[in-house]
Amino acid sequence: MSRNGHDGVPGAVFIGDFALSGGEWFPSHRHSVHQLVWSRRGVGSVRIGDATWFLPRTLALWVPAGVVHATGAVDPSWNRSPYFRPERCPAGIREWAEPTVVAVSPLLAALIDHLADEHLTTDERIRAEAVVFDQLRPLSTVAIPLPMPRDRRAARIAAALVEDPADDHTLAQWASEVGASARTLRRVFLAETGLSFGRWRTHVRLRAAMPVLAAGQPVAAAARRAGYGTPSAFVAAFHRTVGVPPGVYFARG
C-alpha cells in the first residue's frame, strides 16, 4: 500500500493506493483521519458492525476518523482512497459523524486521480481539494444489517441461510429440524436480531445479491443468487428495503 501526498505535503487530503484480490479483506482497523473508501477499479466493500456496503466505481463510503471498519473486495480491485485530515476539513464535512455513501461523479474521480500526483504544487493541491469538498454529496441510502442470533437453534438456521440464501424452507420446517417451535424461533429472531425472521431472511438474500449487482451482472442473475422466483419479486424486495430499485442504486454518480 502507498499513500501519496501524506508526509510533508500541505493540505487536507492525501491519497492511499492499494490492491486487493477478490475476496480479500484487510482486518478491522481504525484511522485518526477520515477516509473515503473508493475502488478505482473493481468492486470494493466495507464492513462496519453488522452492516456491509458494496461499492462499484460510482459509489464511495465516507468512514469518519475513529470508526472501526474492515475493507475488502468482491473481485480484484484497485482502491484509490482519499484520506482527510479532520482539522483541515470544512465545518460541514467535519460534522459527518456516521458512515455515509457518496456519489463519485466523473469530476470527483478525476480530482482524486489528480491529487495522487506527488508533484503538485501547494497552490494546485489546495485548489483541487476545495473542489473535492464541493463534490462530496451524501446519498440517501440504507445499509442492510445482518445481526446474527446467539440462540444455538436460531444460529444454526442463520448459518445455513448465509451459506445458501436461496434455501426456501419455511420457519415451520426449520423448527422441526432444530427442535424448537416456529413460535419460539420467531420470538428468538426478533429478540436477538431486532428483525422478524422474514425480514432477516430478506436481508441475507439481498446481501448475497449485492456483489452480483455491483459487478454489473443482470438483475435476473442477482435474483437467482438470492433465491427469488422472478426478477420483479427481487426488485420489489430491494426497493422496499434499500429505498430505491437496484438499477437506480448502482447507477448513481
Average pLDDT, the chain: 89
Within a domain: 143: no
Within a domain: 147: no
Q: Which pLDDT does position 248 carry in this prediction? A: 81
Query: Using 50, 70 and 90 to split pLDDT, how confident is the model at 57?
Result: confident
Residues 179 and 93 in one domain: no
Residues 22 and 111 in one domain: yes
Residue 157 maps to which CATH number?
1.10.10.60
d(CA 201, CA 203): 5
Range of the domain at 228: 152-251
Residue at which a domain ends, from 69, 103, 135: 135
Residue 39 maps to which CATH number?
2.60.120.280
Q: Which pLDDT does position 2 carry in this prediction? A: 46
Cβ burial, residue 198 (10 Å; 0-12/13-18/19+): exposed
d(CA 69, CA 46): 7
Within a domain: 6: yes
How is residue 9 written as a grid cell? Answer: 505535503
Residues 110 and 15 in one domain: yes
Residues 118 and 161 in one domain: no
In order of 36, 99, 104, 108, 159, the CA distances from 253 in angstroms are: 15, 18, 5, 9, 35
Residues 120 and 10 in one domain: yes
Furthest-apart CA pair in the chain: how many Å? 69
Using the predicted structure, report yes or no on whether residue 203 has a pLDDT greater than 70: yes
**Which 3 state secondary structure label does DSSP give 56?**
coil
Could you report the per-residue pLDDT of 109-157, keeping only the tens digit for each?
999 999 999 899 999 999 999 999 999 988 877 778 899 999 999 999 9
Residue-by-residue DSSP string for 133-193? HHH--B--------PPP-SHHHHHHHHHHHH-TT----HHHHHHHHTS-HHHHHHHHHHHH
Using the predicted structure, report yes or no on whether residue 5 has a pLDDT greater than 50: no
**Which 3 state secondary structure label does DSSP give 55?**
strand
Within a domain: 140: no
Residues 12 and 107 in one domain: yes
Residues 119 and 215 in one domain: no
Q: Which pLDDT does position 9 carry in this prediction? A: 56
Residue at which a domain ends, from 135, 161, 176: 135
For residues 234-252, give the mean pLDDT.
Answer: 84
Q: How far is CA 142 from its chain centroid?
A: 10
Within a domain: 144: no
- Whether this prediction's pTM lies above 0.75 is answered by yes
Within a domain: 91: yes
Using the predicted structure, report yes or no on whether residue 7 has a pLDDT greater than 60: no
Q: Which pLDDT does position 252 carry in this prediction? A: 53
Residue at which a domain ends, from 135, 162, 191: 135
Within a domain: 112: yes
Residues 8 and 128 in one domain: yes
Residues 172 and 237 in one domain: yes
Residues 98 and 204 in one domain: no
Q: Residue 34: which of 91, 115, 80, 96 has the closest Cα?
A: 96
What is the count of structural domains for the chain?
2
Within a domain: 7: yes
Residues 31 and 118 in one domain: yes
d(CA 234, CA 237): 5
How is residue 28 written as a grid cell? Answer: 478491522
Query: Using 50, 70 and 90 to split pLDDT, how confident is the model at 253?
Result: very low
Q: Which pLDDT does position 3 carry in this prediction? A: 47
Residues 97 and 220 in one domain: no
CA atoms within 13 A on the CB side of 107: 10
